[in-house]
C-alpha cells in the first residue's frame, strides 16, 4: 500500500476522494463549481454562454410581463416622429428645416407640454445665406420654448467620443443644461438593455439626452436595466400634423395630445437611426423584419422607467452566489432522475415567478438564470456520475454473479426489478426437473477430484439447452437441475419451450456420452419431469438470506414426475396440463393416471420425440 502511494500519488488521492458517497458528492460539487465559473467567464464575461443566456432571459421576462401583466404609466410620454410623410410635406433639404422646427416648438409651447426632448442634432453652422432669417426664427422659438417648458436637444458624438460642436447662437440659447449626448449602452449582441451615464464615459458621467431631460424635470437619474415591460406600444404623431394643427389654430387638439405631457421628437424613418431593442415597442407595421426600432424609443423608455419608479436593479452578487451554491448542492441529493428534474424545474419556476412579481412591483431582478444554470449543471453532473457509476456497478455485478444466475434473472437484477427483500411474482409457467440416474453409485468408483469436473461438463450442456429456448435455470440440487419456462420472463408458449428443452437435453447428453466413452469414463442417464401451472417466482428465504426460486404445486408435481421416470422406464414424463397446451409438434405415449406422493393422482404422458421436425423448429 505504501508503495502505491509513493508510485502513483494522484491515483491514491483520487481513490480516497471517491471512497465514500459524501466525498464523491464533494468532488462533484467542486466540478460543478468550476464548470459554472467557466460558463460565466469564458471566453469573456460579456461573451460567455451564461451572459448570452442572461440576455435572452431578460428579453423573455420583459416581453412576458408586457403580454400578460402590463403596467400603465400615470404620465405618458408622447412621441412626435419624423416619418416618410414628413419628408414629403417638407421638400426642402433637412438642414434648412429651421422654420419647420420653430413651428413645432411653437406648437408644443402653445399646447402646454411639460418638457420636450429633441433627438435631432442642431446644425454646426448657419444656413442664412441659403434661407435668410431662418436662424433667428429658430432662436426665437427656442427662447419661447425654454420659457414655457424644459427643452433638451441631442448632441452627436464621433467614434472617439468627442461631442460635435453647435452653431454658437443655438448653443448659447439652449445652454449646457439643455444639451445631452445621443448615446446608449449596447450589450455584446448590440441590443440596448441598460442605462448608465457613468459607464458611457471614462470614469466621468456623460450627460445623455434622457438624463438631461429628467434633470430638467427634477427627477433623479439612476443606473440599471431599462424596464421595457412598462407602458403601451408607442404610436407617433407625425411632425407635419402637429405643425398643421398649430397653423389651423386647433388649440384644443394640441392641448389634448400634448398638454401636461413629456414630448420626445425623433426620426421614425425606416432607413435612419434604427436600434435593436429587447421587445417590440414601436407600432411600426410596415417595417421590415429585423430592421430594428427608432433610436428615440430607447430614450423614451429610459424616461418611462424613471417616471415609473426607477430602472430595474440586478440582485446583489452575494444573493446570486448564495442561490448558485444552493443549486449546486443538488449534487449531494442522489435521487431518481424524475425527482431531481422535478426539484430543478419547480425551484426554477418558483424563483422565476418571484422575479416577475419583483420586477413589476419593486423593480428588482433576481438571479433566476444563474440559479437555473447551476441547478441544471448540478443535475447533469450528478446524473452523469450516477450513470457511469451504475454502468460500472452493473458490469461488476454481471461479472461476479453471471455464473450464479440465468440471463433472465440477471437482467431483472440489473434493471432493479428484483428487489433485495422477499417477494413473489405469480405467473403461468412450465417447470422442468432433471436428475442423473445412478450417479451416486457411479461416483463411488471415480476419484473424488474427477466428480466436480464431470458434473461441470454435464451441467454446461444442460444449462445451454435451457438457455437456448429462453428458459431459466432456477437451482442445482446435487446432480439434479430445476428450470422454468415462462418465469420470471414471460414466454409466448412455455410448454413448447419446455418440451424442446427436454429433447435437446437428451440430444446433448448423447453427444456428451460419446466423449466420455472415448475418454474411458462412464456414461450418464437422466430422467426429466415437466408440469405446467400457476407458480410464484422471486426471492425465497429469510430476510437475511434468500435465493431466487420458483415455488408452487406445479413445481412439486414436476419433481415427483422426474422420480417416476425410473419406475415407468421412460426418460421424459409430462402431465396432461402440458400435453393439452401443445396440440402438435410432439408425440406422446399415454401412461395413464399415476399416483404422486403428497398429491392427488395425475394423468401422465411419456414424451417420445418430435412428431414433425419442421413444425417444431
**10 within domain boundaries:** no
**401 within domain boundaries:** no
Q: Residues 227, 229, 232, 234: what is their CA dihedral angle, to the nearest 10 degrees? A: 60
**Looking at the structure, do residues 106 and 163 belong to the same domain, yes or no?**
yes
CB-based contact 468:476 (threshold 8 Å): no
Q: Quick one: what percent of the chain has pLDDT higher than 90? A: 59
**121 within domain boundaries:** yes
| CA–centroid distance for 155 within its chain | 47
Q: Which of 307, 338, 365 is the last residue of a domain?
A: 307
**Looking at the structure, do residues 293 and 323 belong to the same domain, yes or no?**
no
**Looking at the structure, do residues 322 and 195 belong to the same domain, yes or no?**
no
Instruction: Indicate the number of domains in the chain.
Output: 3
**4 within domain boundaries:** no
Residue-number span of the structural domain to which 610 is assigned: 420-616
For residue 250, pLDDT over 80 is answered with yes
pLDDT tens column, 275-312: 899 999 998 765 554 568 999 999 999 999 999 999 99
* 273: confidence class by pLDDT, cuts 50, 70, 90: confident
**Looking at the structure, do residues 303 and 335 belong to the same domain, yes or no?**
no
DSSP string, 60-92: HHHHHHHHHS-B--SSPEEEEEE-HHHHHH--S
**Which residue has better confidence, 106 or 331?**
106
**Looking at the structure, do residues 302 and 334 belong to the same domain, yes or no?**
no
Identify the pLDDT of residue 417: 53
* Domain harbouring 535, CATH code: 3.30.70.1230
**66 within domain boundaries:** no
Contacts of 79 (CB under 8 A, 6+ apart): 234, 235, 236, 237, 263, 264, 265, 266, 268, 296, 297, 300
**17 within domain boundaries:** no
SS3 track for 298-324:
HHHHHHHHHHCCCCEECCCHHHHHHHH
**408 within domain boundaries:** no
Of 144, 160, 156, 159, the C-alpha closest to 181 is: 156
484: its cell numbers: 422454468
**Looking at the structure, do residues 287 and 323 belong to the same domain, yes or no?**
no
Q: Which of 274, 307, 340 is the last residue of a domain?
A: 307
Q: Which of 338, 373, 392 is the last residue of a domain?
A: 392
**Which residue has better confidence, 167 or 530?**
530
189: its cell numbers: 449582441
**Looking at the structure, do residues 529 and 425 belong to the same domain, yes or no?**
yes
**Looking at the structure, do residues 30 and 157 belong to the same domain, yes or no?**
no
**Looking at the structure, do residues 479 and 595 belong to the same domain, yes or no?**
yes
**What angle is formed at CA 203 by the lines to CA 202 and CA 207, rounded to 5 degrees?**
80
* 544: confidence class by pLDDT, cuts 50, 70, 90: low
**83 within domain boundaries:** yes
pLDDT tens column, 118-164: 999 888 888 888 989 999 999 999 999 888 889 999 998 876 677 88
pLDDT tens column, 34-57: 999 999 999 998 899 999 999 999
**Which residue has better confidence, 350 or 399?**
350
**Looking at the structure, do residues 332 and 349 belong to the same domain, yes or no?**
yes
DSSP code at position 122: P
**Looking at the structure, do residues 358 and 278 belong to the same domain, yes or no?**
no
* 418: confidence class by pLDDT, cuts 50, 70, 90: low
Q: Residues 66, 221, 312, 226: what is their CA dihedral angle, to the nearest 10 degrees? A: 50
Identify the pLDDT of residue 298: 95
Lowest mean pLDDT among 184-188, 393-397, 514-518: 393-397
**Looking at the structure, do residues 278 and 336 belong to the same domain, yes or no?**
no
Amino acid at each position: 500500500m505504501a508503495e502505491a502511494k509513493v508510485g502513483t500519488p494522484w491515483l491514491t488521492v483520487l481513490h480516497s476522494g471517491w471512497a465514500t458517497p459524501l466525498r464523491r458528492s464533494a468532488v462533484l460539487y467542486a466540478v460543478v463549481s468550476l464548470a459554472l465559473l467557466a460558463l460565466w467567464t469564458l471566453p469573456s464575461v460579456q461573451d460567455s454562454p451564461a451572459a448570452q443566456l442572461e440576455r435572452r432571459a431578460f428579453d423573455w421576462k420583459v416581453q412576458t410581463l408586457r403580454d400578460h401583466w402590463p403596467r400603465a404609466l400615470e404620465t405618458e410620454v408622447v412621441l412626435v416622429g419624423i416619418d416618410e410623410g414628413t419628408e414629403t410635406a417638407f421638400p426642402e433639404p433637412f438642414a434648412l428645416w429651421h422654420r419647420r422646427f420653430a413651428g413645432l416648438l411653437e406648437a408644443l409651447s402653445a399646447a402646454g407640454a411639460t418638457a420636450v426632448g429633441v433627438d435631432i442634432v442642431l446644425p454646426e453652422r448657419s444656413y442664412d445665406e441659403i434661407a435668410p432669417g431662418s436662424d433667428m426664427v429658430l432662436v426665437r422659438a427656442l427662447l419661447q420654448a425654454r420659457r414655457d417648458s424644459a427643452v433638451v436637444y441631442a448632441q452627436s458624438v464621433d467614434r472617439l467620443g468627442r461631442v460635435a460642436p453647435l452653431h454658437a447662437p443655438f448653443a448659447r440659447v439652449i445652454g449646457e443644461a439643455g444639451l445631452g449626448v445621443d448615446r446608449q449602452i449596447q450589450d455584446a449582441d448590440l441590443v440596448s438593455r441598460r442605462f448608465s451615464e457613468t459607464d458611457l464615459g471614462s470614469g466621468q458621467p456623460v450627460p445623455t439626452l434622457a438624463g438631461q431631460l429628467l434633470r430638467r424635470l427634477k427627477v433623479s437619474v439612476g443606473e440599471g436595466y431599462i424596464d421595457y415591460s412598462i407602458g403601451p406600444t408607442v404610436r407617433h404623431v407625425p411632425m407635419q400634423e402637429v405643425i398643421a394643427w398649430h397653423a389651423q389654430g386647433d388649440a384644443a387638439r394640441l392641448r389634448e395630445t400634448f398638454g401636461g405631457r413629456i414630448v420626445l421628437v425623433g426620426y421614425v424613418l425606416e432607413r435612419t437611426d434604427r436600434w435593436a431593442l429587447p421587445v417590440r415597442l414601436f407600432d411600426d407595421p410596415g417595417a421590415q423584419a429585423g430592421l430594428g426600432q427608432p433610436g428615440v424609443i430607447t430614450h423614451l423608455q429610459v424616461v418611462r422607467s424613471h417616471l415609473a419608479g426607477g430602472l430595474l436593479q440586478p440582485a446583489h452578487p452575494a444573493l446570486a452566489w448564495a442561490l448558485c451554491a444552493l443549486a449546486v448542492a443538488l449534487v449531494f441529493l442522489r435521487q431518481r432522475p424524475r425527482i431531481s428534474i422535478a426539484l430543478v424545474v419547480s425551484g426554477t419556476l418558483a424563483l422565476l415567478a418571484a422575479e416577475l412579481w419583483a420586477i413589476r412591483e419593486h423593480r428588482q431582478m433576481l438571479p433566476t438564470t444563474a440559479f437555473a444554470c447551476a441547478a441544471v449543471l448540478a443535475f447533469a453532473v450528478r446524473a452523469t456520475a450516477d450513470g457511469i457509476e451504475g454502468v460500472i456497478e452493473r458490469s461488476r455485478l454481471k461479472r461476479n454473479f453471471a455464473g450464479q444466475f440465468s440471463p433472465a434473472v440477471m437482467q431483472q437484477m440489473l434493471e432493479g426489478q428484483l428487489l433485495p427483500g422477499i417477494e413473489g411474482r405469480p405467473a403461468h409457467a412450465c417447470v422442468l426437473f432433471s436428475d442423473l440416474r445412478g450417479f451416486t453409485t457411479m461416483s463411488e468408483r471415480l476419484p473424488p477430484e474427477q466428480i466436480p469436473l464431470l458434473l461441470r461438463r454435464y451441467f454446461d450442456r444442460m444449462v445451454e439447452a435451457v438457455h437456448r429456448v429462453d428458459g431459466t435455470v432456477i437451482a442445482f440440487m446435487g446432480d439434479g437441475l430445476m428450470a422454468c419456462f415462462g418465469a420470471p420472463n414471460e414466454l409466448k408458449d412455455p410448454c413448447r419451450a419446455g418440451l424442446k428443452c427436454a429433447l435437446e437435453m437428451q440430444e446433448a447428453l448423447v453427444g456428451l456420452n460419446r466423449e466420455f466413452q472415448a475418454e474411458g469414463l462412464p456414461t450418464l442417464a437422466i430422467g426429466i419431469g415437466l408440469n405446467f401451472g400457476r407458480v410464484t417466482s422471486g426471492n425465497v428465504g429469510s430476510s437475511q438470506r434468500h435465493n431466487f426460486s420458483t415455488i408452487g404445486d406445479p413445481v412439486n408435481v414436476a419433481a415427483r414426475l422426474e422420480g417416476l421416470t425410473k419406475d415407468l422406464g421412460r426418460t421424459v414424463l409430462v402431465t396432461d396440463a402440458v400435453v393439452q397446451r401443445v396440440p402438435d409438434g410432439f408425440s406422446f405415449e399415454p401412461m395413464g393416471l399415476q399416483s404422486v406422493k403428497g398429491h392427488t393422482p395425475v394423468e401422465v404422458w411419456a414424451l417420445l420425440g418430435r412428431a414433425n421436425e419442421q413444425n417444431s423448429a
